[in-house]
Amino acid sequence: MQIKGMVASLVFLGFLAVPGTLLSQSKGSKNPVQAESVQNASIKKAKDQDRQTKRTQDRALNQTQGQVTQKREHIVKEAVRALQLTKDALDSLNKGNQEKALDDLAMAIGKLELVVARYPDLALVPVSVELSQVDLVPNEEFIKKAVERSKAYLDSGELQKARHLLGGLASELIVRKTNIPLGIYPSAIKAIGPLLDRGKIEKAKTALTNVLNTLVVTETIVPLPVLRASILLSDAEVLAEKKNRSDKEQKELEESLDLAREQVHFAELLGYGSPKEYQAIYDQITEIAKKTAEKKQGTGFFEKIKKSLKALRRHSQKAPKNKQ
């Protein structure tokens, strides 16, 4: 899987929190040695954050790939074969081989009947699961300007310009599942045989094409900033529950909360959810930071924010659609 976009976002993330701090400290310091020390500390902090973000990035990707693997295990082989036989039948008709098309359809019907018998309550049977990624995260100013221009395009009725401009403003993994609708697909296949028996080849081709267009595609959107924030907060929760944290562990906890806040901010910029939802999440992170300050320990600090992040994921989903 390509992670070029991810690398770009890592660079962006690494420098987002540092330059402003670095400049303000340098301006406020008249001692060159002290200024250099502050600068070195800021650079080290940026590198540490980059490494932590990279680890979080890898874990987010591995976690989603693991979920995709689990979904693939539920693919029904007979349904996959039935779909391929349907395509083969259409190909045979296009080549003028009606007899092979009938054989392919007969085998497809047999496979589908087996699936229906095995899964009588299943409306959609999965035949493929794919994972794709969009992770273009330019700087905050770019995102805001793109949104402003898009609004201007929409106001002037230039919908396509707005669509193309907004299309790249995403940071997400898309789990795309293609399904055979068992309620209509088998009966539609059975209706093609009589057409061929009556010599209505063109109608049979059209019917087969229509059958293939009944495949239902469901997409699960995984907003990467939300997923990364969840992982960072999970790490922070482990440390928050630990008694007698070391200085290093306290620093890691605080950095995880800071980076989680940044990721939540990116998610907000990219429109994964409503502003009202985000204000609650920011407040929850602030509350957690107070409860864990000075190495204070406890449990249950993260329950609210876990629910809030799950809600963001739910609000990022698309409706199922037919495959064209």
- Among 71-75, 191-195, 214-218, 238-242, the minimum mean pLDDT is found in 71-75
Q: Which residues contact 117 (CB under 8 A, 6 or more apart)?
A: none
Q: Nearest Cα to 138, choosing from 5, 289, 234?
A: 5
Task: Residue 255: count other Cβ atoms within 10 Å of its Cβ.
Answer: 18
In a domain, 122, yes or no: yes
In a domain, 126, yes or no: yes
In a domain, 187, yes or no: yes
In a domain, 209, yes or no: yes
In a domain, 305, yes or no: no
Domain that holds residue 184: 74-165+175-222
Q: In what order do the strands lie in the sheet with 170-181?
A: 124-136, 170-181, 216-223, 321-322
In a domain, 61, yes or no: no
Report the domain count for the chain: 1
pLDDT in tens, 214-273: 999 988 888 999 999 999 999 999 999 999 999 999 999 999 999 999 999 999 999 898
In a domain, 137, yes or no: yes
In a domain, 144, yes or no: yes
- Among 16-20, 115-119, 174-178, the minimum mean pLDDT is found in 16-20
* CA-to-CA separations, 282 to 172, 275, 278, in angstroms, rounded: 21, 11, 6
